Amino acid sequence: MCDYSLQHVATRAAKVGDQLVTTKFNNSITRGFSEVGVPNVAVCILPGTELAFEHDVECDHALGFFPSRKLRERVARFRQINMDNPYEHHDALEFPSGQVVLLTRLCEGQAATVLQLPAGATTGEEHHHDQAADETSAPATQPDRAIV
């Protein structure tokens, strides 16, 4: 999925093998993923998608004025959080350590590869429709781990 703050940015669905880079989009208040060499198109990722980063992931400190920090993590699973609040960012990565980081906190310019999509995922509209139905029938859950 693409966060609410990317509603005015061109988008496309992620595919296995995509080479992505963390990007701050024009006319947006958030960061996300774009395809390498295509900085104006946000790549939307389905919850459960697995990513591998080229280097240890680096993110901005939550308070903004402190230096960025490296997480010593290179693989992550995409998920959505805070779904009960439409005015918060939802797109996040969960790392093997259990740490959850909002996508908008990732430092720009980090390279990642889409390793695998969630089981049964397609890149067509039928999956988006099925997922929306699933989200309305299941209660939103909050992670038991710290969110950065």
Domain segments of the chain as ranges: 4-137
pLDDT confidence band for 141 (50 / 70 / 90): very low
Radius of gyration of the CA atoms of the chain, in A: 14
Enter the DSSP assignment of 64: S
Q: Please state, in angstroms and rounded to a whole number, the distance separating the CA atoms of residues 100 and 79.
A: 9
Query: Is pLDDT of 130 > 60?
Result: no
**Amino acid at position 52, single letter:** A
pLDDT in tens, 62-83: 666 677 788 999 999 999 999 9
pTM of the model: 0.76
